[in-house]
Amino acid sequence: MKIKNAPFILLTAIATLSFACNNQPTCIPEHSNLLEIAFVDKLGASKEILLVSADAASANESYSIVQDSIVSKLSIPLSSLDSSIFLTINSDTAIIDITLSYKALSILIAPECGIETKFDFIKLEDTNFNNVIVINQTLNKDIKTNVEITH
Amino acid sequence: MWKLHISISILVLFGFANKTQAQESDYAIKLDSTIHKKWVPTGLRLGVDISGPIYSYIQSNKSSYEGSIDIDFNRFFGVIEAGKGEFNSSVDLTSYSSSGMFYKIGIDANLTPKDPNLNVVFFGLRYATSTFNEKLKGVIPDSGWGVQNIDMIQNNSKSSWIEMNLGMKARIWKSFFAGYSLRLKFLKHHMYNQENFSSYFIPSYGLTENINNWSFTYYLQYRFEWKKKPIKWRGE
């Protein structure tokens, strides 16, 4: 009598198993790797400046961001394998050195999608220019400015 | 579908309920005023989850092996579950693995305490914890610093979560039981030993990015019964 119930139990188990579903990943990266630097005037309005050069260096590498350009913003990619970046911004009126530290956390979006990096805890470690402030510590597609330089 | 599920469960239970006329079954006696020790355990049930190995066969990148012990206290069961889980994946240039142990402790409340064969429909709560090790390999596409290779190990991450379980355990032959439970899990806490990368998979919980997950386990169990359980008899 008791063993007769086994098929019912099995059937119920299979019915429950049929609810199982796998969410397919969307593979859309959520985070940005671009540090957004904005140049503003004393009133906080966007300001265009002439950059002779702007260079970025990490512990092991360096590269030129821009040369001889008029800009009001800079978008600088951060390295996933480092925790600090050294910037040299050479404008027509000043040479600005900035050292920023940050935390890079690798995130597996999904095995099918690969890895992205979340950059957070951006902190101004050193600068020779008085008017540099970090206004957003996280790199995010929705955040337009991380660092503001009043020039 | 849920109605069908519930209907079948009820049918199974009523299928067992054919000894309601007697005052004693092979496994239970009628609880009366002369019996005061209704909280004294009458049996210990050991079980293994067979759904984990089946999933492992279907989905070769996942494996889970789990065992359980429960002991009765009146209409409640104290439950301890433990096991090992693993997740491996390698797609193109990205590979990831997570493996570790998990432990769960909790109680089940018997919703059918008058069943003379000690079949159980239960609602249970668990506190679960897992300690696990992860490996992540892959590449970050060129973004100004060249293609960057990621090759990281992260050991001894810890997670804890709460589970709500709904299920049944039915006697299929002598002291052998079969049963299943549907588990809804709520991630409570996740702690990195090393914050090298974000954890992706917690053994027995599932994907870390989900605040809640659900799963299914199907148990085969053996109950060591040292005395008949005093229960309120059906119809009284």
Architecture per CATH, B44-229? Beta Barrel (2.40)
Nearest CA-CA distance, residue A4 and chain B, Å:
8
Q: Is the distance from CB of A120 to CB of A107 less than 8 angstroms?
A: no
Q: Is the distance from CB of A101 to CB of A84 less than 8 angstroms?
A: yes
By Cβ distance, the residue of B144, B145, B198 closest to A105 is B198
Q: Please answer yes or no on whether A80 and B136 come within 8 Å at the CB atom.
A: no
pLDDT over 70 at B215, yes or no: yes
The set of residues, in sequence order, having a beta carbon less than 8 Å from that of B128 and lying 6+ positions away, is B102, B103, B104, B160, B161, B162, B163, B185, B204, B205
By Cβ distance, the residue of A4, A12, A116 closest to B180 is A12
Nearest CA-CA distance, residue A6 and chain B, Å:
6
Model confidence pLDDT, tens digit, residues A34-45: 999 999 998 989
Mean of the per-residue pLDDT values of chain B: 85
Model confidence pLDDT, tens digit, residues A20-31: 555 567 788 888
| B5-14, B73-82, B157-166: least confident range | B5-14
Higher pLDDT, B69 or B58: B69
**What is the greatest pairwise CA distance in chain B?**
82
**Do the bridges between strand A84-91 and strand B229-231 make them parallel or antiparallel, or are there none, so unpaired?**
unpaired
Domain ranges of chain B: 44-229
Helices B2-16 and A5-17 cross at an angle (nearest 10°) of 160
pLDDT over 80 at B2, yes or no: no
Q: How many CB pairs under 8 A join A and B?
A: 114
| A25-29, B69-73, B218-222: least confident range | A25-29
Interface of B with A in 153-182 (CB under 8 A): 168, 170-173, 178-180, 182
For B55-69, give one letter per residue: b (16+ CB within 10 A) or e. bbeeeeebbbebebe
Region B30-40: mean pLDDT is 73
DSSP string covering A2-61 = -TTHHHHHHHHHHHHHTT---PPP-----B--EEEEEEE-TTS-B--EEEEEEEEE-SS-
Region A102-117: mean pLDDT is 91
A9 to chain B: which residues are within 8 Å by CB? 12, 168, 170, 172, 178-180
H or E stretch covering A128: none
Model confidence pLDDT, tens digit, residues B125-164: 999 999 999 999 999 887 778 888 999 999 999 999 999 9
B218: left (phi over 0), alpha (psi -120 to 50) or beta: beta
Rounded Cα–Cα distance for residues A8 and A74 (Å): 66
By Cβ distance, the residue of A18, A58, A105 closest to B197 is A105
Closest A-chain CA to B134: A108
On the 0-12 / 13-18 / 19+ scale of CB atoms within 10 A, B34 is exposed
Nearest CA-CA distance, residue B186 and chain A, Å:
18
Nearest to A50 by CA among A91, A4, A103, A85: A91
Q: Does B18 touch chain A (CB under 8 A)?
A: yes
Rounded Cα–Cα distance for residues B114 and B136 (Å): 52
Nearest to A78 by CA among A106, A47, A38, A97: A106
Q: Please answer yes or no on whether B8 and A2 come within 8 Å at the CB atom.
A: no
Nearest CA-CA distance, residue A118 and chain B, Å:
9
